[in-house]
């Protein structure tokens, strides 16, 4: 065959392939999500093999392990005791609550590790929603935002580096930015859940925190979060959300879930110069784990290929429960 250009020339050897590789994975691309509880034990999460609810004592060791593997950011999620949950989720801004305690402990022992937090009411709400639910079953936007601002301030006071509003209330990024600035926390960043979809991929996470919507009183409770999280059918709307978050002062934009929304990551990369994060969510993680346990797939190969797909789509950062495994695999390559 008389071919002027043969693309396979640059695929011929490993060194040639690495020379022209367009995207790479590094341990410091990862943000490692960690579940925390108030007990003294480490509790395996059955729906997410390989993950645990960490006690405060055990949490430090796991964060040290992540640091030694090259991971430079963790995000904390609380498993809140039932007796502390309420309709307004006020435990979220308790300065002596689980997450502020965990932040202070980590910052004392490992001050260089970047600590990201989650800002939303669902772990603290007896209704399981990210916002306050009215007596007639409506998730209230503006009233919720006031609580989120209090929550963000408490987390910043404890030493958080990045505040992560995951609630999808309108206007919350601007309100949190103003609240943080007013309290002197102008150096604390916001990594907003910009395009967070009302997805079926969150099931294992909600088991880990026992945070699914539920009704324990006669008050009507929305059965899902579709009145505030985004419709999976929509893509252009994500651009609108990104523009609003950027105008309101977000430092990093996030897409959640990640794998089923690579097109959204790509769209936001074209629209914004801000760093883009992708959340490789619990359902995506658990499906890989389940298939790997049955030897249906090569776990290492599938995980690294999946994580690389986020980078190829345009993500700068990846929240993933595979973080430590992936960092170790990359270190040993």
Catalytic residues: 196, 256
Cβ contact 60:68 at 8 Å: no
Angle (nearest 5°) at CA 247 between 103 and 282: 45
Cβ contact 257:226 at 8 Å: no
**Cβ neighbours for 287, distance < 8 A, ≥ 6 positions apart:** none
Residue 272's CB is within 10 A of a number of other CB atoms, namely 18
200-231 in b/e burial notation, b at 16+ Cβ within 10 A? ebbebbbbbbebbbeeeeeeebbeebeebbbe
Angle (nearest 5°) at CA 76 between 71 and 82: 155
Token match 């503006």: residue? 142
How far from 290 is each of 17, 28, 105, 215, 319, CA to CA, in Å?
32, 26, 34, 31, 20
d(CA 283, CA 203): 6
d(CA 168, CA 151): 15
User: 177: exposed, middle or buried (C-beta count within 10 Å: 0-12, 13-18, 19+)?
Assistant: buried
The alpha carbon of 174 is separated from its chain's Cα centroid by a whole number of angstroms, namely: 20
The alpha carbon of 317 is separated from its chain's Cα centroid by a whole number of angstroms, namely: 11
Token readout for 62 is 């796991």
d(CA 94, CA 115): 18
């Amino acid at each position: 065959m008389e071919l002027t250009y043969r693309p396979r020339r640059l695929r011929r050897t490993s060194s040639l392939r690495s020379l022209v590789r367009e995207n790479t994975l590094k341990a410091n691309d990862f943000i490692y999500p960690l579940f925390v509880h108030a007990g003294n034990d480490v509790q395996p999460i059955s729906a997410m093999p390989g993950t645990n609810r960490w006690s405060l004592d055990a949490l430090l060791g796991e964060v040290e392990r992540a640091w030694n593997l090259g991971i430079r950011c963790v995000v904390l999620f609380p498993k809140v005791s039932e007796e502390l949950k309420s309709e307004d989720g006020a435990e979220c801004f308790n300065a002596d609550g689980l997450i502020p305690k965990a932040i202070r402990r980590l910052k004392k022992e490992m001050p260089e590790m970047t600590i990201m937090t989650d800002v939303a009411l669902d772990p603290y709400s007896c209704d399981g929603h990210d916002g306050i639910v009215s007596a007639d079953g409506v998730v209230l936007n503006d009233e919720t935002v006031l609580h989120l601002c209090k929550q963000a301030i408490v987390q910043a006071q404890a030493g958080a580096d990045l505040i992560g509003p995951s609630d999808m209330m309108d206007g919350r990024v601007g309100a949190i930015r103003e609240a943080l600035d007013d309290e002197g926390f102008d150096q604390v960043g916001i990594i907003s859940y910009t395009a967070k979809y009302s997805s079926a991929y969150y099931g294992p996470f909600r088991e880990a925190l026992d945070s699914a919507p539920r009704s324990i009183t006669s008050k009507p409770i929305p059965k899902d979060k579709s009145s505030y999280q985004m419709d999976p059918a929509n893509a252009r709307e994500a651009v609108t959300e990104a523009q609003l978050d950027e105008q309101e002062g977000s430092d990093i934009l996030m897409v959640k879930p990640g794998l089923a929304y690579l097109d959204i990551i790509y769209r936001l990369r074209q629209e914004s110069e801000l760093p883009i994060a992708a959340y490789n969510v619990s359902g995506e993680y658990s499906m890989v784990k389940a298939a790997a346990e049955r030897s249906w797939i090569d776990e290492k190969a599938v995980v690294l290929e999946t994580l690389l797909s986020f980078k190829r789509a345009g993500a700068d950062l990846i929240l993933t429960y595979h973080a430590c495994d992936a960092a170790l695999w990359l270190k040993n390559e």
